[in-house]
Amino acid sequence: MRETDWIQRFIVPLVKARGADRLRDDVALLSADGPIIVTMDTLVEGVHFLASDPLNTVGQKLVRVNLSDILAKGAEPVEALLSISWPRGRSETEFGALMAGLERDLDDFGIALIGGDLVSIDGPLTLTLTLTGRCLMAGPVRRSGGRAGQALLINGKIGWGQIGLQAAKSDPASEAAMRYRVPKISSIFAAQVVADFARASMDVSDGLLIDAARLAEASKCGVTIALEQVPLAAETDDLAEILVQCTAGDDYRILISAEPDQNVPGFTKIGQLTESQGLQLAYNGNSVNPPSTLGFEH
């Protein structure tokens, strides 16, 4: 790898924002108007994606895991910085595939690449993206805005991450495996709904139960979830199966609290915030003991 050549050939074509000055400078100028938020997520080969995953899908996943955080805050994505630690043994063709996947998602989601770094590594491919977002209202919708009595709601289905990971290992060509490699994430419309309706909001990435507990804790209240109301990727009446899907990570759905009388477009009510602390589960009106592991603990 000659970093300068690869930057010119593969990365500069992705850079269109004026403040980036075509990567000819040490820094980029952020296009700041209105409240700007920022997130940073890293993917490591063998930890967050499989060594066998096609790199175009890895590029897309990198954008999406970061974008999901921005959307969950009621914001639209704006600009990104990309750091690539590239294993010496991987080919230029693979690098091109990574960049093609990145470009596809950056373009689809209207994100401007404005800078970053490219270095060699004697180890696993390691990717870090920093993504900024412009809030659709005065500031980000925090995890901490929930109050007892508010409804708990989620958009889309829970469990695709877990089903997809199993499929990626056993049947890599399946549709479910593709959903592991390139997770479906929320739309900018969902971000607008968050801005309009949500009191508290977060990205569900470590498992519904653990993330619901975190939202409640940040909001200094408790939470109860009616498991039969949770939309599942694999519908089932088996409580153990339901809990597996509700404790697996990589779902990238948005979990919010909202005033109880609101009809929130695209979101399904699955529970409510409570005065009593902690997480309580029910299934068809019967109390259920929370599993010992609520989700992916880093």
Residues that bind its own copies (CB under 8 A): 2-4, 7, 21, 24-30, 32, 35-42, 44, 46-48, 69-70, 72-73, 75, 81-83, 85, 114-124, 126, 128, 130, 132-133, 139-140, 142-144, 202-203, 218, 297-298
Task: Give the residue with the Cβ less far from its own copies, 5 or 171.
Answer: 5
Query: Order of strands, edge to edge, in the sheet holding 278-283?
Result: 200-204, 253-258, 151-155, 267-274, 222-226, 278-283, 286-288
Q: How far is the CB of 148 from its own copies (least distance, A)?
A: 19
Closer CB to its own copies, 133 or 164, in the complex: 133
Q: CB-wise, 74 or 164, nearer to its own copies?
A: 74
Burial annotation 84-116 (CB, 10 A radius, 16+ → b, else e) = bbbbeeeeeebbebbbebbbebbeebebbbbbb
Give whichever of 141 and 176 is closer to its own copies, judged by the CB atom: 141
Residue 2 Cβ, how far from its own copies at the closest point, in Å?
7
The values of phi and psi at residue 272, to 5°, are: -155, 160
User: What gap in Å lies between CA 207 and CA 243, rounded to an integer?
Assistant: 10
What are the residues whose beta carbons fall under 8 Å from the beta carbon of 11, sequence distance 6 or more? 23, 82, 99, 113, 116, 118
Q: Pick the closer one to its own copies by CB: 239 or 290.
A: 290
Q: Is 61 exposed, middle or buried (0-12, 13-18, 19+ CB in 10 A)?
A: buried
Closest contact distance (angstroms) between CB of 77 and its own copies is 11
- The type of residue at 70 is I
CA distance 111 to 82: 12
- What's the closest the beta carbon of residue 102 comes to its own copies, in angstroms? 15
**Measured between alpha carbons, how far is residue 119 from residues 45, 154, 164, 197 in Å?**
16, 39, 31, 43
CB of 185 to its own copies, least distance (A): 13
To the nearest whole angstrom, how small is the minimum distance from the Cβ of residue 228 to its own copies? Answer: 28
CA–CA separation, 140 and 73 (whole Å):
5
* Nearer to its own copies (CB atom), residue 133 or residue 156: 133
Token pair 């990238």: residue: 252
Cβ at position 26, least distance to its own copies in Å:
4
How big is the CA angle at 209 (ends 240 and 49), to the nearest 5 degrees? 90
Cβ nearer to its own copies, comparing 70 with 163: 70
